[in-house]
């Protein structure tokens, strides 16, 4: 399936995986709307990669509503949602904090769900569309200090599976991509990108997987794919 002239939303598209995936879609000829919470950074990155920018926080329902109105008015079309926005926090079980856990779930789980809910209404009506959830290998196995982040990604994995069951009769594909460790600005307080490392993944590998899964003929889809560094040690 060609991606030329398809319209995609990439949440958290101003850096790291989001930026790389948005750029890869643009290079395939797609029209891409990237969202983010840092307006200056968002506008700069969108201009750099040739995407459209829309300032939106997926933790705010009003922002989500306004984003979809913008998409409808400007493009009158939506082919796919890339649910990439995400944050992380970590704590030992005896140091858990309710507010930290709520903050992560607001974006990683509730935000992704509300974005998908809007997209699903469009996709069910038009009888096609793609929802891609960018999760993590942490959605498959818990780890020390990972209660907050891993739980949010386990929840996203459950959501992916539920949406697959609901939306397949409407020709809607729900795909989950699980990156292993990728040096990006993720979890960086200053939001500055970490340098790439020779033996770890780069955002490009995740972007390559995204494009490959989307380009598959619509008769088939990849429910879930995990991407690991070949030799990270």
Q: Is 149 a catalytic residue?
A: yes
Q: Is residue 2 part of a domain?
A: no
**Is 211 contained in some domain?**
yes
In a domain, 1, yes or no: no
Q: Would you say 154 and 139 are in contact if contact means Cβ atoms under 8 Å apart?
A: yes
Q: Per-residue pLDDT for the chain (233 aa), expressed as one digit of tens each?
A: 999 999 999 999 999 999 999 999 999 999 999 999 999 999 999 999 999 999 999 999 999 999 999 999 999 999 999 999 999 999 999 999 999 999 999 999 999 999 999 999 999 999 999 999 999 999 999 999 999 999 999 999 999 999 999 999 999 999 999 999 897 656 545 556 667 788 899 999 999 999 999 999 999 999 999 999 998 88
- 217 belongs to a structural domain: yes
Q: What is the pTM of this model?
A: 0.94
Instruction: Write down the catalytic residue from 68, 75, 149, 170.
Output: 149
- CATH classification at residue 174: 3.40.50.720
- Cβ(100)–Cβ(151) below 8 Å: no
Domains identified in the chain, total number: 1
Query: Tell me, what's the pLDDT at 190?
Result: 53
Q: Give the structural domain span for 161.
A: 7-227
DSSP run (H or E) holding 9: strand 7-10
Q: Partners of 91 in the beta sheet?
A: 146
Q: Residues near 206 by Cβ (< 8 Å), separated by ≥ 6?
A: 17, 20, 21, 134, 177, 179, 182, 227
């Amino acid at each position: 399936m060609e991606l030329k002239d398809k319209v995609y939303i990439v949440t958290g598209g101003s850096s790291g995986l989001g930026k790389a995936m948005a750029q890869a879609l643009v290079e395939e000829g797609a029209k891409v709307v990237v969202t983010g919470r840092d307006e200056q950074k968002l506008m700069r990155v969108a201009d750099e990669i040739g995407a459209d920018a829309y300032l939106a926080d997926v933790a705010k329902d009003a922002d989500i509503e306004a984003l979809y109105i913008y998409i409808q008015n400007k493009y009158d079309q939506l082919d796919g949602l890339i649910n990439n926005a995400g944050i992380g926090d970590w704590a030992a079980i005896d140091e858990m904090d309710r507010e930290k856990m709520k903050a992560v779930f607001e974006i990683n789980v509730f935000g992704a769900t509300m974005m998908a809910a809007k997209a699903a209404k469009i996709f069910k009506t038009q009888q096609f569309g793609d929802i891609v959830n960018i999760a993590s290998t942490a959605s498959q196995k818990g780890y020390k200090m990972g209660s907050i982040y891993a739980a949010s990604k386990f929840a996203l994995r459950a959501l992916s599976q539920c949406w697959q069951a609901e939306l397949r009769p409407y020709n809607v594909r729900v795909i989950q991509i699980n990156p292993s460790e990728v040096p990006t600005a993720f979890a960086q307080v200053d939001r500055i990108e970490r340098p790439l490392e020779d033996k770890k993944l780069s955002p490009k590998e995740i972007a390559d997987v995204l494009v490959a899964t989307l380009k598959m003929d619509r008769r088939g889809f990849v429910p879930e794919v995990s991407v690991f560094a070949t030799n990270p040690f």
